[in-house]
Amino acid sequence: MKLKGVKILSALLGLSMIMGTMGCAAGTSNKPQPANEASSEKPAPSKDSAAKEQVTLNFWHIWGAETDASYAAVKKVIADFEAEYPHIKIKEDTTENEAYKTKIKASAAANELPDVFSSWGGGFSKPFIEADRVLAIDDYLNDGTKDKLVGGALANVTYDGKVYGMTFGLSCGALFVNKELFEANNIKIPETYAELIDAVKAFKAAGITPMTLSGKDVWTIAMYFDAMALKAAGNDKIVSTLTKQGSFKDPEFLSAASKFAELVSLGAFPEGAAGLSKDESDLPFLQGKIPMLFNGSWTAGSVYREDSLVKDKIIPVGFPVFEDGKGTKNQFTGGAVDAIMVNANTKYKEEAVLFQKYFCENMARETYLAGAYLPAWKVEVDESNINPVTVALAKLTSESESFTLWWDTLLEGQDTQVYLNTLQELLLGGVTPEQFVDRLQTIYE
């Protein structure tokens, strides 16, 4: 009796373990089927849809908090889609940004992804694509979709020449400056690195901390350094070096690191910044006490937050150019990174891709109107009601030559950690600029 029980148990155990390991092995690779239907199909609701099979698409994303500028946009676009295609129902599930990354990775590993999900281009999604979890959508793009996109909108979701995702909005790094503080202290808004140093020194002399970042939320340091490396080396060199066709030991990277270390040693950042969270370090900027913040274009939203004291005082400018650098003033960090992807194993490929395209095209407009992103699609909108900082950002980047993806997005997981950890050390003065580039070079190993 007892023995039998044990046997059954161990059999069960063995079985589920085999199933377990199988689940983690590579999934079946699916070739996308040509999509004549989806592209030629015009929405013809009510009558037609009765004949169509009712489809429910599971859609996971990260815009579930009302504080998010994109929140209302997502709600609207999904409602519009369901009205236009009554046979398709979208079942949303939202998760907080950081937790979502864990969730999506675990779900990709266990082959439990939903039909459609939001993700990030570059290094983040690369392992999913290599494991054949994501549908390549090239065959669905020849219906004029490509012409509606702005240049480079698909660059970060293209892997090995194939497009695996769709983007809707563009984010870019910018130096947000409090023009009132600059005027009050009679300081020129810097356009070159020398002017930046002058401004930092002048503010210090006036007893004002010039810039802010959070050493604990390490990506905020990377915001600065990504831009500085870009100004030193230029877009092409950054891309080739990060894709491991170059060397971090080239003088441009040392120059960027030295300049960053110079800013640190001049006291450009707040006391104890290494231990502050982004909420803490941003606050003095939003209270008008710190004149400069280099961060993503989403900062526009914070500037017009209810409790912000700097509304209408902030203008975005590019990072000051380096006199000895190769990056021009029209090269920016950032790009179209937030992406919508379709599960390679979804039952409803046509419907999922249809939704993916509809969602992105309309989100491009709605999130721009909401001041959350710059549009990655060509949109015509009335700009008078948009967040003025967002409009200024659109103007600033209208002549852009290139967007260089943030390193922590472009690089893959492990390399990203090497970069961020070493950068934190540079901020702390734990490594010299020389040691910094040496350690970066280890990602080539």
Partner 1 sequence: MNNIVKNITTSHKSTIAAPKRSLGSWIMYALLFGWAGIQIFPIYWLMTFSLKSNSEIFGGNPLGLPKVWMWVNYSKALVTGKVGLYFINSIIVTGATIFITAIAALMATYALTRMNFKLRKPLTTFYVLGLTVPIHSALLPVFVMLRNLRMTNSYQALILPYVAFAIPMAFMIFSGFMASLPRELEEAACLDGCSIYGVFFRIIAPLMKPAVATVSIFTFLQAWNELMFAVVFISDTKYKTLTVGIQSLAGQYTIDWGAIGAGLVVATIPTLLVYIFMSKKVQDSLVAGAVKG
Partner 2 sequence: MERVWKDKKAILFFLFPSFIILTFIIIVPIIMSSYYSLLKWDGFGQGTFVGMNNYIKLFKDEAFIKSVKNTLVFALTSVFIQLPISLLLALVISTGVKFERFFVTVFFIPVIISTVVIGQLWMKIYHPEIGILNMFLRSSGLDNLTREWLGSKDTALMASVVPVLWQYIGYHMLLMYAGIKSISADIYEAAKIDGASWLKTSAYITIPMLKPILKVSLTFAVVGALKVFDLVFVLTRGGPGRASEVTSTLMVETIFKSNSYGYGSAMAVFIIIECVVLYMLIGKLIKTDEVT
Query: Contact residues for partner 2 (CB under 8 A)?
Result: 2, 5, 9, 13, 16-17, 20-21, 24-26, 101-102, 105, 108-109, 127-128, 130-131, 133, 215-218, 270-277, 280, 412-414, 416-417, 421, 424-425, 427-428, 430
Query: Roughly how many angstroms between the first and final C-alpha of the chain, as a whole number?
Result: 58
In the complex with partner 2, which residue's Cβ is closer, 125 or 167?
A: 125
Q: How far apart are CA 326 and CA 401, in angstroms?
A: 13
126 CA to centre of own chain: 14
Nearer to partner 2, 243 or 385 (CB): 243
User: Least distance to partner 2 from the beta carbon of 175, Å?
Assistant: 23
445 binds, among partner 2, partner 1, none (CB under 5 to 8 A by kind): none
Residue 375 touches which of partner 1, partner 2, none (Cβ within 5-8 Å per kind):
none
The set of residues, in sequence order, having a beta carbon less than 8 Å from that of 276 and lying 6+ positions away, is 214, 215, 216, 270
Q: Which does 274 bind (CB under 5 to 8 A by kind): partner 2, partner 1, none?
A: partner 2
272 binds, among partner 1, partner 2, none (CB under 5 to 8 A by kind): partner 2
Contacts of 294 (CB under 8 A, 6+ apart): 173, 174, 175, 176, 211, 213, 223, 224, 227, 319
Q: How far is the CB of 168 from partner 2 (least distance, A)?
A: 25
Name every residue whose Cβ is closer than 8 Å to that of residue 165 and which is 6 or more positions away in sequence: 119, 121, 125, 134, 137, 154, 157, 339, 340, 341
CB-CB neighbours of 315 under 10 Å: 18
| Residue recorded with tokens 């090995």 | 160
Nearer to partner 2, 84 or 96 (CB): 96
- Residue 325 interacts with which of partner 2, partner 1, none, CB < 5 to 8 Å by class: none
Closer to partner 2 at the Cβ: 69 or 211?
211
Write down the least CB distance from residue 329 to partner 1, Å.
Answer: 25
Sites of contact with partner 1 (CB under 8 A): 16, 19-20, 23-24, 58, 60, 62-68, 70-71, 93-97, 99, 102-103, 106-107, 109-110, 112, 114, 279-280, 283, 286-287, 296, 298-299, 301-302, 305-309
What is the phi/psi pair of residue 171, to 5°? Answer: -120, 150
What are the backbone angles phi and psi of residue 201, rounded to the nearest 5°? Answer: -65, -40
Tell me the closest approach of the beta carbon of residue 156 to partner 1, in angstroms: 17
Residue for token pair 């526009």: 300
Among partner 2, partner 1, none, partner that 204 touches (CB below 5 to 8 angstroms by kind): none
Dihedral angle of Cα 114, 115, 118, 122, to the nearest 10 degrees:
100
Torsion angle, CA of 77/106/409/300, rounded to 10 degrees? 40
Shortest distance (Å) from residue 40 CB to partner 1: 33
**Min dist. Cβ of residue 14 to partner 1 (A):** 12
Smallest distance from partner 1 to CB 181, Å:
17
User: 189 or 310, CB closer to partner 1?
Assistant: 310
